[in-house]
Structure 1
């Protein structure tokens, strides 16, 4: 199996032909609003900034904020990275002592919507999820077909694939990541090396999830699975798959896949055999990821507040996903195209979580 990302290589949940269509003809066609993990206390040593941006990566906004206001990079807090090819809102934090200097900050396409005090610096992952409102233009299929797909996703969950944003321009990051793991890469930047290796972890996870879909295991469990409870986040070993699978069928629990690393044990029993099959597709073993920490990732998530609104020549989708999930996984199911396949970069992830 190729390490180059392609939606066509990953099994979809729904069987519709898809609506087709195009995305991002205008920045306003793709809106992402960060859903915070907690309310602000109204007091404390950190000032939170609710920022709206268009045409900029989060990293670029942070660099400009640092340069113009004088705050050190390491003192700026951010919960997640947002796409440049969209209208996005998110929270940032700076030490409260810089509040008076915020008037010096100016960047076309960026505005501060609100501010508030809190006791701690905003950290990566300090968000509940993201709300997406996406305009699909030039769609051969219409809103009715999109509603049918959303109905299936609401009932059974969304395949929690890592989207093309994780794999870089042309989907080639995982190939270079494999060279990093094998000691063949000349790249020296530690951050870039980590991100490239995370692409390999993501490719193996995607293959594992695709195999589950192919074999009718998306809404059920296998012996040896590490399942996660959607309400509490608790993770447990599945010893009796027949007894636990009804809970998965009701959407109470879901299987997880392994983002391999030294702190995360491979799956065992039937689930372990399937995981080993996914690794073998790339001629890999868990030991090659010994330099990484590792993590577990849900194989499915549930979209909240999903809706479709007809538009001339297409429709608008709206839905909320938990942190770490990619809107492209929903859009791929609805459109059945190579969604965002050729228009990605290292800072355009809906959320880049796990495996570091």
Structure 2
């Protein structure tokens, strides 16, 4: 029973297409992320929205600066998602309007620029974003035609929605600690840390389920008993009619996998048997996750706005991914090498 996250055990969607190789993140500006908000500030309200560009800092470090140096209570600071440290990222924060005069203190935070600000009626909350736009340099990667061939497949079939390595901690060991918590019920650390560790185990089980569907030829299919997600609206429904298979082939809907918990919609029949197969692999039961809320996560996400540009230093990839997905999952397909995790998540991590 191997609970250590090992990315090489997860199959590619495009194994027959050679990758471009190369390396990532030599410089922060090689990895650019722009948050796409669900809405923009309306111009009035008690919450001040700040669009910040940062390099060399995690989202958490910026939040701590706002708390410790600007004086904003942590519970009153809002963010929609978490962004990488070793990158140039743009994301929105919200603070109460009454702290507006203290924002000049941001000039003391090296690596941060204030790009825009506006008022809104509500605090920014986790998940209040559509997704992220990426512009990433693969140094030494090529040729361009290889990347384009792979991206055309991903556009047609969707990007495998694997959780990236940053979900699993140093050495990929967090699922092991999460397993000890769900089986033993005890462990050291804060409630937040325990939730994160169990979340890592949930994520490993999801990745294993995704890999199993790929191996069985069920990646771009739905089968009776699946819970499917409508990509256009986000709605989920139980698959009961055979004709839903055509919608899956058109990437209108996708099967969803389990983040086990007490309130997630449970699959039935043949689809449930696939989930059981993953649980049995580790001697787990659904009941072991009774303290988690649970959710379902799509097996794939649409790829939009992609472009490849050649440069003397390598290839620039530009693309949009919806919230909750990882650029690393796309990059490993294009490069055909296991990519680095960075120090923090690239996408929203509040699921499950």
Q: TM-score, normalising length from structure 1? A: 0.95
Q: Give the aligned partner of residue 145 of structure 2.
A: 144
Query: Alpha-carbon deviation of 1:39?
Result: 2.2
1:121 corresponds in structure 2 to: 123
More off after superposition, 310-319 vs 33-42 = 310-319
User: Unaligned regions of 5+ residues in structure 1, if any?
Assistant: none
- Per-residue deviation, 1:116: 0.4
Secondary structure of the residue that 1:151 maps to in structure 2? Answer: helix
The answer to whether residue 157 in structure 2 is matched with residue 156 in structure 1 is yes
Write the distance in 1 (CA, Å) between the matches of 2:302 and 2:207: 17
* 1:217-256 paired onto structure 2 within 5 Å: 217-240=218-241, 242-256=242-256
- Please tell me whether residue 57 in structure 1 is matched to residue 54 in structure 2: no
Asked whether the equivalents of residues 228 and 236 of structure 2 are also in contact (C-alpha less than 8 Å), the reply is yes
What does the per-residue CA deviation read over 1:196-238, in whole Å, with 9 as the maximum and x for residues that have no partner?
1000000111111111111111111111000111112221111
TM-score, normalisation: structure 2? 0.96
Deviations 1:50-106 (A, max 9, x none): 001100110011101111111101110110111101010100000001111111222
Aligned equivalent of 1:18: 19
Helix, strand or coil: the match of 1:248? helix
Q: Deviations over 1:153-187 (max 9, x none)?
A: 00110011111111112111111111121226532
Larger mean CA deviation between 119-128 and 11-20 belongs to 11-20
Pair 1:269 & 2:269 matched: yes
Show the counterpart of 2:136: 134
The size of the alignment, in residue pairs, is 350
Aligned to 1:352: 349
Whether 1:212 aligns to 2:209 is no
Moved over 4 A (4+): none
1-structure distance, mates of 2:78, 2:347: 18
Native 8 Å contact 2:265 2:296 kept in 1: no
5 Å-filtered alignment, 1:1-356, equals 2-15=2-15, 16-105=17-106, 106-139=108-141, 141-183=142-184, 186-240=187-241, 242-340=242-340, 343-345=341-343, 347-355=344-352
> What is the deviation of 1:6?
2.0
CA RMSD between the two structures:
1.3
> SS at 1:162's partner residue?
coil
Report if aligned partners of 2:45, 2:121 keep a CA contact under 8 Å in 1: yes
Structure 1 stretch displaced more, 275-284 or 32-41: 275-284
Structure 2 Cα separation of the partners of residues 18 and 180 of structure 1: 39
